[in-house]
Amino acid sequence: PFQNVGFIGLGNMGFRMANNLIKAGYKIAVHDINSNALKAFSDMGIVTKETPFEIGEVSDVVITMLPSSSHVTDVYTGPNGLLQSGNVLRPWLMIDSSTIDPQTSRKLSFTISECMLKEKKGHQETPVMLDAPVSGGVLAAEAGTLTFMVGGPEEAYLAAKPLFHSMGKNTVYCGGAGNGSAAKICNNLAMAISMLGVSEALSLGQSLGIDASTLTKVFNSSSARCWSSDTYNPVPGVMEGVPSSRNYDGGFATKLMAKDLNLAATSAKEVGHNSPFTYQAQQIYTDLCQDGHETKDFSCVFRHYYSGKDE
C-alpha cells in the first residue's frame, strides 16, 4: 500500500535518506522550505511540493526529517501542515525521524488519532504515527546503514520495515508512541557521558605521566573499554580515521550533541528524574558551543575542555 512516499526535510540527513528511497524504487514527492534543496530533486525529475499539506495529498506514507520539535510541530499542525483541517488525511502512516523530545512525539501521535476521529473520513485504515529517530550520521545516511529506533503501534512498525531497510541496516522496536524518541536521547546521553569520561581519564593519565596511546591500550583490554575509547578515541594521534585525528572536523557536531543533551535535560526535569551527569554534560557542551567549537566533532571536548589547548 505504500508506493507513494512523501519526504519533508531535505537537509544533511533527509537529502540522503530520500535518495535511498528513490534508489529502492519508491515514488517520492518532497518538500523543504529551502528552495535549493527542492531544486536538487526537481532537477532529477522528482515531484516537489510547496507545503506539507500538498505532500499529504499525494502520499500514502510521509516521512519527516527536521531540525527540532518546533519544526516538526509546525509541519504537522501549522498552517498548510500535514494535518490541516479539511485534509483528506490520505497518508495512513506518518513517520517522524527527527531527534525530538518524547513528549512532543506523544502529543503529535495523540493529535493524529484525534484528527482522524474528527474527520471521520471512513478510511479503511486509521492513520498512525511512528517516531523513528536514527543513529548514525551523514555517512550512514548516505550508505543506507542507519539504525532506526521506533515507537508507536507495532503493526505500523512491521508495515514500515521495508522503508526503514531502504534507508538503514538495523531497526529496533522500542514500544509505544514516544519510545523511539526516548531511546534516541538516552543513547546520545550515554554516548556524551562516555566521551566525557574517557576524555577526562585519558587527560588525567597524561597529567600523571601515561601517554594516551598506552592508556587506551589498557582501557581497550580492560573494563573501561567502550565506543569512545576503541572506536572514536578523542585524543589526536591515537587512532586513524576518526575526527580527533583530523582537527575534529567532520563527525557529529558539538552543536547537535548540545541539542540532544538539552532534550535529555528537559525530559529528565519533566519526569523529575535525578540526572546529575545529564546537567553537567549539557553545561559542558553548551559552553563548548559558546566558545566557538559548535561545528567541530563532539570529541573535541578532549582538546578544548580537558587538555586546555584552545587552538
Residue nearer to ligand NAD on the CB measure, 81 or 126: 81
Is 98 a binder of ligand NAD (CB under 6 A)? yes
Cell 473520513 locates to: 121
CA 118 to chain centre: 31
What is the x/- site pattern for ligand NAD, positions 52-81, by CB under 6 A? -------------xxxx--x--xx------
Number of residues that bind ligand NAD (CB under 6 A): 26
At its nearest, how many Å lie between ligand NAD and the CB of residue 227?
Answer: 15
Query: Distance between the two ends of the chain, CA-based, in angstroms?
Result: 55
How many CB atoms lie under 10 A from the CB of residue 11?
15
Among the listed residues 49, 184, 259, 296, the single catalytic one is 184
Burial of 151 (0-12, 13-18, 19+ CB in 10 A): buried
At its nearest, how many Å lie between ligand NAD and the CB of residue 244?
Answer: 17
Please choose, out of 2-10, 83-91, 109-117, 154-162, the segment that lies near ligand NAD by the rule CB under 6 A: 2-10
* φ/ψ of residue 82, rounded to 5: -55, -35
Q: Report the relative pairing of strands 4-8 and 47-48 from DSSP bridges.
A: unpaired
At its nearest, how many Å lie between ligand NAD and the CB of residue 97?
Answer: 7
| Dihedral angle, C-alpha 109, 110, 113, 118, nearest 10 ° | -130
When binding is defined by CB under 6 A, the residue of 3, 12, 283, 290 that contacts ligand NAD is 12
**What is the DSSP track for 95-150?**
EE-S---HHHHHHHHHHHHHHHHHH----SS--EEEE--EES-HHHHHHT-EEEEE
Is 242 a binder of ligand NAD (CB under 6 A)? no
Is 87 a binder of ligand NAD (CB under 6 A)? no
Is 221 a binder of ligand NAD (CB under 6 A)? no
Residue nearer to ligand NAD on the CB measure, 3 or 34: 34
Is 212 a binder of ligand NAD (CB under 6 A)? no
DSSP assigned state of 73: H
Active site residue 309: no
Is 8 a binder of ligand NAD (CB under 6 A)? yes
Is 24 a binder of ligand NAD (CB under 6 A)? no
Instruction: Compute the distance between CA of residue 153 and CA of residue 172 in angstroms, rounded to an integer.
Output: 13
Contacting positions for ligand NAD (CB under 6 A): 8-14, 31-34, 37, 65-68, 71, 74-75, 98-99, 134, 137-138, 252, 256
